[in-house]
Amino acid sequence: MSGSTPRPTAWRRLPLLAALAAVPAYVACSPGGEGDPLADRPSGPLPVETLVVASAPAVPKPITRRSPAKLIVNLETHEVRKRLADGVEYTFWTFGGSVPGPMLRIRAGDEVEFHLNNHPSSKMPHNIDLHAVTGPGGGAASSFTAPGHSSVFSFAALNPGLYVYHCATAPVGMHIANGMYGLILVEPKDGLPKVDREFYVMQSEFYTTGRFGQAGLQPFSMEKALHEDPEYVVFNGSVGALVGDNALKARVGETLRLYVGNGGPNLVSSFHVIGEIFDHVYTEGGTVANQRNVQTTLVPAGGSAIVDMKLEVPGTFILVDHSIFRAFNKGALGMLKVEGADNKVVYSGKQNDLVYLPEGGAVQAVPENGAAPERELPREELIARGKQVFTANCTACHQLEAQGVPGAFPPLAGSDFLMANKERAIGVVMHGLTGEVTVLGKKYNGVMPMLQLTDGDIAAVLSYVRTNFGNKASDIVSLAEVRKVRAAAAAKPGAGVR
């Protein structure tokens, strides 16, 4: 009949039948590709355990049992005020009181009874979406919890892998941006290959109304979040969370595994360890080491990766998001300090971690109109603020002790050039500096960029430097003096410092 669909003939069906016959059996076997994840469950009740979690950068111990268990998880949501950067505080919305939330480690085939408890002091309801959960909202549909209440739901761990969890209460982006995320590792039934050390590293971004480094309690900026323009991009919840005394530590000869997550809420991470190569990468948090000898791996927002490496030489290795301004200007920088014997065959040089200090937010715009007007600060408060400004904006070039870098950046410590003329020093910080200068008898010919600091920050940082590092000024730099220099420059357009 014209226009009707012809019936398939035998020769048309054969290719399809052959294709179906060729499909590997494991495809229809289980979600995780390891056979039925629930096949080894006993007929009776499972043994019950209370899950032990770990706060970043720590990782829960590998699972040694080879049979499933019922795990009881208690996780509290709590809104807390904590440090985001030196001198900067933020009201974080958290799982377990920390950012990121604690790392959970379970085994494929386990049954998880999840208790979400919202602290009575919370101002917002919260829930949890675990990407490891097969079910509506990843558990979010069953865990919406008002302040002072608890919710309970259960799930079976079907798919091994490294998964993100986060709050999914509306507005979802705000809950994530305020710190509500973490990682859950579902180990394969036979576990992952053994390594000597494991660490938990999670990248995320923060959108504050004030610019990078602006002191005080900073509120969330929805406008910046919508434009995907964060002031801070950090590891483990704050600037400096993995540097100095907080650096990851290991020894030469050890194998190291990093469980890397990206809470987002917006940016993709280009995760890289300067001076190391990933021997194996489990792309996107899967359980197959599908890449070897990788320099930088992408970690999507709401995603993860597992990276393994063998440590061959000692030194300080720098963890960064290789979207590099995020590392050196917004905080996405950490350290891995490796101790042990040198291996001159592998590397003959000497590591120096000082050049990798965060450069701060010097390129950021000045505060918006409507910001609180600046005021003259008492001497002690002014100098304390100056130390924060110096650390955030000056140490990458002039170094922690203001000693400078020979042939490149002049010293500020004991600097005759700095101390000779207060107004000139104000102008240098305000407008930048080009051309040759002589400092302590040595010539420097470079460019110091205009930092775009507020007048109050200029007064503070100069007061700090001029009264420290062997500089013995008896007077501070006042806000009024800075404003006077700015007014004079405005009256002479183009009269920058050279």
Task: Identify any residues that bridge with 182 across adjacent strands, giving them in sequence order.
Answer: 165
b/e map 46-63, b = 16+ CB within 10 Å? eeeeebebebbbebbeeb
- What does the domain layout of the chain look like in residue ranges? 48-339, 379-491
Q: Residues 317, 274: contact at Cβ < 8 Å?
A: yes
Long-range pairs for 281-288: beta carbons < 8 A, 24 or more residues apart: 281/305, 281/306, 281/307, 281/308, 282/162, 282/306, 282/307, 285/161, 285/162, 285/163, 286/161, 286/162, 287/32, 287/160, 287/161, 287/188, 287/192
Q: Could you check whether 48-339 and 379-491 share the same CATH topology?
A: no
Burial of residue 309, with CB atoms counted within 10 A of its CB: 0-12 exposed, 13-18 middle, 19 or more buried: buried
Query: How many other C-beta atoms lie within 10 A of the C-beta of residue 174?
Result: 18
CB within 8 Å of 240: residues ≥ 6 apart:
85, 86, 246, 331, 358
- Contact call for residues 117 and 94 (beta carbons, < 8 A): no
For residue 363, give the amino acid letter.
V
CB contact at 8 A, 332 and 321 = yes
Give yes or no for a cis peptide into 171 (omega within 30° of 0).
Answer: yes
pLDDT at position 360:
61
Residue 5 has a pLDDT of 40
48-339: which CATH number, 3.30.465.10, 3.40.50.970, 2.60.40.420, 2.60.120.10? 2.60.40.420
Whole-number CA gyration radius for the chain: 28
> Residue 486 is encoded by which pair of tokens?
């700015």
Q: Looking at residue 4, what is its pLDDT? A: 42
Q: Report the alpha-carbon distance of residue 97 to residue 79 in Å, rounded.
A: 7
Please classify residue 241 by burial: count the beta carbons closer than 10 Å to its beta carbon, then call 0-12 exposed, 13-18 middle and 19+ buried. Answer: buried
Closest to 89 in 3D by CA, of 270, 219, 204: 219
DSSP 75-136: EEEEEEEEEEETTEEEEEEEETTBSSPPBEEEETT-EEEEEEEE-TT-SS-B--EETT--SG
Three-state SS at 49: strand
Residue in 461, 489, 497 with CA at minimum distance from that of residue 477: 461
Contact predicate 138/158, CB 8 Å: no
Residues of the chain with pLDDT under 70: 1-34, 350-372, 493-498
Write out the two tokens for 287. Answer: 């359980």
Nearest in space to 427 (alpha carbons), one of 448, 399, 405, 396:
448
Contact between residue 307 and residue 257 where contact means Cβ atoms under 8 Å apart = yes
* Domain 379-491 belongs in CATH node 1.10.760.10: yes
- The residue with tokens 């229809």 is 28
* pLDDT at res. 41: 83
Query: Which pair of tokens denotes residue 49?
Result: 């355990």
Measured distance CA(25)–CA(87) in Å, rounded? 59
**CB atoms < 10 A from the CB of 321, how many?**
26
**pLDDT for res 43:** 82
Tokens for 182?
Answer: 């973490």
Strands 333-339 and 315-321, by their bridges, are antiparallel
How far is residue 373's CA from residue 46's CA, in Å, rounded to a whole number?
63
Cα–Cα dist 421/410, whole Å = 16
